[in-house]
């Protein structure tokens, strides 16, 4: 048996080396009013970089305008590159690396905000955008696949060290993986090999573009947390295909559906009134009345995705990133002891961007995040932890 790695020591991720094994997970920033980088966005990533993470992930860089969750979201185009370059330079100056999360929101996109119809595996009503999505044609799939490769190319031009492809949360590729959302009868629907074609096609295109110039990772749902959705056995097979073709350097394991069961991603309290406040009537009232059903709460526990992730660790060889309720040195050490190569942290770093440095100084440092999830509705106005007093 090989020795358990030190989570705070340098580690290779594909062709790059990180100063440690702690990754800032993508937490959509809501800081790009013109769909371009702002100083606020740069500062949002500079802080965890200065605070000790090995890699910070810029969420969420859409690969096409209709793939944005809403119209102010950054999408990858030549115009976005100079701002992104300033961002990667600021992160590098703090000694950390930067990843761009690239993907297409598919049925999660707000079509009314984007002014463009949403795309998904099948025609589907998105209650937040109050619009039907359009079933993606083979030509749409080919275009979106190419757009992922182009986004990777632009990320390299902007100085990113890695791209993370979004295969989770019932975004486009994830909606194709879901037997519930994908009822197609063509070559992209039916058995798993067909449902996985979009994800695998995207991963191949990105890998081909990236080569070994940057690391390529993917964020994959282990399960959707929705009856009839993707389950662990199928997800494991997709992970195996990604591994066997050498398409990714590591997999970040996630769960949940931004469309059908968002709290499954997070666990903890459901911030229904704060979420409703971001929507006009009649949606506001609808969310207040039925929000407890849409935002169904799940009890929080540290390392809440570990049980499912263990199956992936047992059956796969490729490097895995454990995510979900990693908040202390003890949970990080547990992840390492169980064979995960990296850990990713979301909310705890919103609460304390310097948490990793503080844990390095004192391994008994507790996290101040109380998983109230009130950071979640702040994505509409500039993501932050509402428990931090304004500066």
Ligand X SMILES: Cc1cc2nc3c(=O)[nH]c(=O)nc-3n(C[C@H](O)[C@H](O)[C@H](O)COP(=O)(O)O)c2cc1C
Residues acting as catalytic residues: 171
Q: Which is nearer to ligand X, 191 or 390 (CB)?
A: 390
Residue among 193, 203, 213 at smallest CA distance from 246: 203
Contact present, 243 and 322 (Cβ < 8 Å): no
Q: Which is nearer to ligand X, 179 or 386 (CB)?
A: 386
Residue among 234, 173, 164, 175 at smallest CA distance from 201: 173
Q: Which residues pair with 98 in a beta bridge?
A: 56
Quick one: 228 exposed, middle or buried, by C-beta within 10 A (0-12, 13-18, 19+)? exposed
Q: Which is nearer to ligand X, 120 or 221 (CB)?
A: 221
Count CB neighbours of 271 within 10 A. Answer: 22
Q: Which is nearer to ligand X, 99 or 345 (CB)?
A: 345
- In whole angstroms, how close is the CB of 3 to ligand X at the nearest point? 26
- In whole angstroms, how close is the CB of 376 to ligand X at the nearest point? 5
- In whole angstroms, how close is the CB of 99 to ligand X at the nearest point? 11
- In whole angstroms, how close is the CB of 95 to ligand X at the nearest point? 22
- In whole angstroms, how close is the CB of 326 to ligand X at the nearest point? 6
Q: Which residue is nearest to ligand X (CB)?
A: 346
Q: Which is nearer to ligand X, 166 or 197 (CB)?
A: 166
Q: Which residue has the tokens 């500066």?
A: 391
Q: How far apart are CA 90 and CA 178, in angstroms?
A: 38
Q: Which is nearer to ligand X, 229 or 325 (CB)?
A: 325
Q: What are the Cα distances from residue 171, in Å, to 108, 176, 314? A: 6, 9, 27
Helix segments in the chain, DSSP class H? 39-50, 81-93, 111-114, 138-157, 172-177, 192-195, 197-210, 232-244, 272-276, 283-294, 306-315, 329-337, 347-351, 355-361
Q: How far apart are CA 59 and CA 170, in angstroms?
A: 16
Which positions lie near ligand X, rule CB under 6 A? 25-28, 59-60, 101, 166, 168, 219, 254, 265-266, 323-326, 345-348, 375-376, 379, 383
- In whole angstroms, how close is the CB of 103 to ligand X at the nearest point? 8
- In whole angstroms, how close is the CB of 237 to ligand X at the nearest point? 21
Q: Which is nearer to ligand X, 7 or 326 (CB)?
A: 326
Query: What does the DSSP assignment read for 33-101?
Result: TTSS--HHHHHHHHHHHHTT-SEEEEEEEESSGGGSSSTTS-B-SGGGHHHHHHHHHHHHHTT-EEEEE
H or E segment and range at residue 253: strand 250-254
């Amino acid at each position: 048996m090989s020795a358990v790695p030190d989570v705070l020591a340098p580690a290779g991720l594909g062709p790059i080396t990180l100063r440690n094994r702690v990754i800032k997970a993508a937490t959509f920033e809501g800081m790009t009013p013109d769909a371009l980088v702002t100083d606020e966005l740069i500062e949002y990533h500079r802080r965890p970089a200065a605070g000790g993470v090995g890699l910070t992930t810029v969420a969420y860089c859409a690969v096409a305008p209709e793939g944005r969750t809403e119209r102010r979201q950054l999408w990858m185009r030549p115009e976005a590159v100079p701002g992104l370059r300033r961002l990667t330079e600021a992160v590098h100056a703090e000694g950390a690396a930067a990843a761009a999360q690239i993907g297409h929101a598919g049925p999660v996109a707000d079509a009314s905000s984007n002014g463009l119809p949403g795309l998904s595996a099948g025609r589907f009503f998105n209650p937040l955008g109050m619009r039907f999505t359009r079933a993606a044609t083979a030509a749409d799939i080919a275009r979106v696949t190419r757009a992922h490769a182009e986004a990777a190319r632009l990320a390299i031009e902007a100085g990113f060290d890695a791209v993370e492809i979004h295969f989770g949360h019932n975004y486009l590729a994830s909606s194709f993986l879901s037997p519930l959302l994908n009822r197609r009868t063509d070559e992209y629907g039916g058995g798993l090999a067909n449902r996985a074609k979009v994800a695998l096609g995207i991963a191949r295109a990105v890998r081909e573009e990236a080569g070994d110039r940057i690391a390529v990772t993917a964020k994959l749902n282990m399960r959707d947390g929705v009856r009839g959705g993707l389950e662990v056995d199928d997800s494991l097979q997709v992970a195996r295909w990604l591994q066997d073709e050498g398409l990714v350097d590591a997999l970040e394991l996630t769960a949940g559906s931004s469309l059908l069961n968002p709290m499954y991603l997070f666990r903890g309290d459901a911030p229904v009134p704060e979420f409703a406040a971001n929507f006009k009537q009649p949606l506001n009232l609808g969310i207040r009345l039925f929000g407890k059903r849409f935002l169904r709460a799940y009890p929080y526990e540290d390392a809440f995705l570990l049980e499912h992730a263990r199956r992936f660790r047992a059956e796969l060889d490729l490097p895995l990133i454990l995510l979900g309720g990693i908040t202390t040195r003890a949970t990080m050490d547990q992840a390492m002891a169980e064979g995960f190569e990296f850990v990713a942290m979301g909310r705890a770093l919103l609460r304390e961007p310097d948490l990793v440095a503080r844990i390095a100084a004192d391994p008994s440092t507790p996290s101040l995040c109380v998983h109230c999830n009130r950071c979640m509705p702040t994505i509409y106005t500039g993501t932050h932890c509402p428990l931090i007093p304004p500066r």
